[in-house]
Structure 1
Amino acid sequence: MDGIIPLYKQKGMTSNDCVRRCRGILSMKRVGHSGTLDPNVDGVLLLCVGRATKVVNYLMDSGKIYTGEITLGLATTTEDLDGEVIETKRLVRPFTSVEISEKMQLLTGEQIQIPPLYSAVKVNGRRLYAYARAHQPVERPKRKINVAYFRQTGATTFDSATGQQKCYFEISCGKGTYVRTLATDLGRLLGVPAVMSQLTRQQSGSFKISDTVSLSQLEKLTKLDRVQEIIADLDTALQKFEHYQLDLTEWQKVRNGGFLKLQYISEKLVLTYNGKSRCIYHWHSKYLCYVPEQMIDLTEGNQT
């Protein structure tokens, strides 16, 4: 079994919990996910099974869309509601929609982001959250991110009793973006503490939340031997790349990891044979040919 399962991850589970459950349901070891979702975040989690685990990195590079809620006037250690409150500030008045939108716009495009201390980013082989829990100082790496848009999705709400304001948003962003950090950045630009109080991943690559199945649904389909109905072809992760159909001679060369002498077509090529994506090659500017980057499926070598 090879392909991509668009799973709905419920709140309270880690992404690795979902992988372990899926391995048990499918009785397969080769299962991986294409982008961590924090336990308190729900939504689309793409699981790659079988040979599709070889395209996980390409799925991770695909854009993602989230919707959520930001609370202004409150900050925590983790930048979401799971952490300890470290700062509060009563808002004298609620911010206008225009004021919030102007600051959101400043957080779009290419930018440098420092990931939260309570995150799974590794430094010297250890997760940042391990340093945080041990109260050990660590320099967090700066990472380039890209935010296509960051906008409000409805009217804000203001609680005069607590002096806190909630705003509701949608964001489209690239690989490695921490939305909870953008929530705190929004508060910083507005001059108040802020926290991400709710988040849902609505889309990952071409997969929308309406395409997903729950773990219980996956289990039922497996028992009915109908899992193939919800598994997408692994080539779904490779649609943004040019595809090239190999002839038999070229296929035999590629199966042995040989270079491919072609005119330049694009930086990366998905090489197909007998209707299947077999591998990914990239252009080598020195050798002026295509060289192997990722082998996917080298079976069926004798078919024509």
Structure 2
Amino acid sequence: MDGILPLWKEKGMTSHDCVFKVRKMLQTKKVGHTGTLDPEVEGVLPLCIGEATKIVPFLTDTSKTYRATALLGYSTDTEDQTGIKKEETPIQSAFSPEEIKKELKSFEGETTQQVPLYSAVKVNGKKLYEYARANEPVTRPFRQIQIHNIRFLSTTYDKVNKTQRIDFDVSCSKGTYIRTLCLDIGKALGYPAHMSALVRTATGDFYENDTITLNQLQDIIDREQSIPLLDIDQGLPHLDSLDVDNETMRKVSYGQKLPLPNPIPKTKFFRILFQKQVIAIYQMHDNRQEIKPARVFRFDDRK
């Protein structure tokens, strides 16, 4: 059983919970996820099964798309709705959609983001949230991230609580913290803020409409129907490809180095295809005169 299961992770579960359940349901240990989602976040979580576990690092590197809500008026210690309220500044007059769109647009492109205190990023061998729980001071690192696109959806002003909700879609590079983005959007508008809701709507080329839930998967198993796994290559469209002939295919199947192709693929890693089937992922050799395997997949066409 080899392929990609485009799972819809529901709220209340960790990514590891999903992996554990699918391992049990499919009766296989070879299951890996492609990017952690917090328990309070739902959304697209492609799981790699069998041979597809070899492409987990390449799927983790893909862009992600989210539907998020920033709530202006107060911040929290965790930067999201699960934290304790910190700074509070009531909003006396609502921002217009035009004002919000202008500020959102300013975040597009490459930017620097400070890693949140409540995160698993390590500093001096210790996770940041461990510093936070122990109330120990720590300098949080900064990261370069890319916001590919950010789109305003709607806004609602709460006259009673003097807060304003901003809903938006964002497509971004891996490692982007959406809760920190919400905090920064608030700062740009002059108010404390936090992320009050988040849904991941896409990972790479896997979208919300492609997914199934754990309950749906269990129903498929109970009915003894075929598991709806997607082909390994569907997780790798962001990599260039190189078609090989029968003789070269045999060399690839045994993990041999190959002469430098012409033209040279543009991506750091690239797919090796035989009869339209991905059989390996290669990369440039250190000597710059050959290419070498990064991953070789099991396949049945060796001759």
Shorter-chain TM-score bucket reads: over 0.9
Pair 1:62-2:29 in alignment: no
2: distance between equivalents of 1:42 and 1:249?
46
Q: How does 1:42-53 map to 2 (within 5 A)?
A: 42-53=42-53
2: distance between equivalents of 1:57 and 1:187?
33
Shift of 1:70: 1.1
1:14 matched residue in structure 2: 14
TM-score by length of structure 1 reads: 0.92
Q: Verify the 8 A CA contact 2:75 2:193 in the aligned structure 1.
A: yes
Q: Verify the 8 A CA contact 1:4 1:52 in the aligned structure 2.
A: yes
Map Cα deviations across residues 77-136 of structure 1 (whole Å, 9 max, x no partner): 111110111111111211122221121112111111112111122334433222222223
2: distance between equivalents of 1:42 and 1:135?
30
Q: Secondary structure at the match of 1:36?
A: coil
1:90 matched residue in structure 2: 90
2: distance between equivalents of 1:119 and 1:133?
11
1: distance between equivalents of 2:121 and 2:61?
16
Pair 1:289-2:290 in alignment: yes
2: distance between equivalents of 1:98 and 1:5?
40
Map Cα deviations across residues 248-280 of structure 1 (whole Å, 9 max, x no partner): 332232233322113233134311235532211
Pair 1:25-2:29 in alignment: no
Task: Name the aligned partner's letter for residue 280 of structure 2.
Answer: C
1: distance between equivalents of 2:188 and 2:288?
49
1:210 matched residue in structure 2: 209
Give the fraction of aligned pairs with identical amino acids, expressed as a percent. Answer: 41
TM-score by length of structure 2 reads: 0.93
Shift of 1:285: 7.1
Pair 1:276-2:277 in alignment: yes
2:181 matched residue in structure 1: 182
1:159 matched residue in structure 2: 158
2:118 matched residue in structure 1: 118
Task: Name the aligned partner's letter for residue 7 of structure 1.
Answer: L
2: distance between equivalents of 1:57 and 1:51?
13
2:99 matched residue in structure 1: 99
Map Cα deviations across residues 201-250 of structure 1 (whole Å, 9 max, x no partner): 1111111112111111111212333243x211111111122322333332
Q: Secondary structure at the match of 1:153?
A: strand
1: distance between equivalents of 2:174 and 2:100?
25
Q: How many residues align?
A: 300
2: distance between equivalents of 1:226 and 1:140?
49
2: distance between equivalents of 1:162 and 1:52?
49
2: distance between equivalents of 1:179 and 1:85?
18
Shift of 1:7: 0.8
1: distance between equivalents of 2:292 and 2:247?
16
2:254 matched residue in structure 1: 256
Task: Name the aligned partner's letter for residue 102 of structure 1.
Answer: K
Q: Verify the 8 A CA contact 1:263 1:289 in the aligned structure 2.
A: no
Is the deviation greater in 138-147 or in 12-21?
138-147
Instruction: Structure 2: state its 5+ residue gaps.
Output: none
- The correspondence for 1:245, drawn from 240, 243, 250, is 243
Q: Secondary structure at the match of 1:62?
A: coil
Aligned-CA RMSD value: 1.8
2: distance between equivalents of 1:116 and 1:182?
10
Q: Verify the 8 A CA contact 1:266 1:283 in the aligned structure 2.
A: no
CA 1:33–1:145: 2 relative to 1, 3 Å = same
